[in-house]
């Protein structure tokens, strides 16, 4: 999700209508590396469109998921789904204290992997999450 216009074009090509709500959600997501949850997006959106509903946020996120424009991230110890507009395969760091998610810049690894076979399984996706403490929280917790 880098380019809004391409995204809109693709959505329209797939038969989706472009509403002001969707356009605004797109804007929030483009170049967003914060891995927001639905409600984070809703809160930003409300400032710009006070009458928007949370259901529309979920609708739009599900639409983008189907279009393959965003990924969903499930976490242990955090019960809301986090969304990621970077769909290129990459790993995540999750801070158990502040709940931030940070991308891991991968050095070489099998990045462009799409389908692989392990133990007879046909793999379509891999999720790697490192749980720990970010530098900031680490310092805070050290002092306490």
Partner DNA sequence: AATCTAATTTATAATAATTATAAATAAAGA
Partner DNA sequence: TCTTTATTTATAATTATTATAAATTAGATT
Q: Does 5 bind DNA (CB under 7 A)?
A: no
- From the list 27-35, 75-83, 111-119, 128-136, the region that binds DNA by CB under 7 A is 75-83
- Using an 8 Å Cβ cutoff, are 38 and 54 in contact? yes
Three-state SS at 71: strand
- Pick the binder of DNA from 5, 15, 110, 114 (CB under 7 A): 15
Q: How far is the CB of 118 from DNA (least distance, A)?
A: 26
Nearer to Zn ion, 4 or 93 (CB): 93
- From the list 26-34, 78-86, 110-118, 135-143, the region that binds DNA by CB under 7 A is 78-86
Q: Does 20 bind DNA (CB under 7 A)?
A: yes
What is the token pair recorded at 47?
């400032």
- Pick the binder of a second copy from 5, 17, 110, 121 (CB under 8 A): 121
Rounded distance between C-alpha atoms, residue 32 and residue 4, angstroms: 12
- From the list 15-23, 38-46, 47-55, 88-96, the region that binds a second copy by CB under 8 A is 88-96
Rounded distance between C-alpha atoms, residue 124 and residue 111, angstroms: 13
Q: Does 52 bind Zn ion (CB under 5 A)?
A: no
Rounded distance between C-alpha atoms, residue 93 and residue 91, angstroms: 7
- Phi first, then psi, for residue 47 (nearest 5°) are -65, -35
Geometric angle at alpha carbon 85, from 76 and 15, rounded to 5°: 120
Where do contacts with a second copy occur on this chain (CB under 8 A)? 72-77, 81, 93, 95-96, 102, 104-105, 116, 118-135, 138
């Amino acid at each position: 999700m880098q380019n809004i216009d391409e995204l809109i074009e693709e959505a329209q090509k797939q038969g989706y209508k472009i509403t002001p709500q969707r356009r605004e959600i797109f804007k929030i997501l483009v170049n967003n590396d914060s891995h927001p949850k639905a409600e984070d997006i809703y809160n930003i959106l409300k400032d710009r469109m006070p009458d928007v509903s949370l259901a529309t946020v979920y609708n739009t996120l599900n639409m983008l998921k189907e279009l393959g424009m965003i990924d969903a991230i499930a976490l242990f110890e955090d019960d809301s789904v986090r969304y990621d507009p970077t769909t290129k395969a990459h790993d995540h760091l999750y801070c158990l204290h502040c709940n931030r998610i940070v991308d891991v810049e991968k050095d070489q690894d099998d990045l462009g992997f799409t389908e692989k076979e392990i133990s007879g399984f046909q793999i379509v996706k891999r999720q790697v999450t490192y749980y720990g403490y970010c530098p900031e929280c680490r310092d805070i917790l050290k002092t306490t």
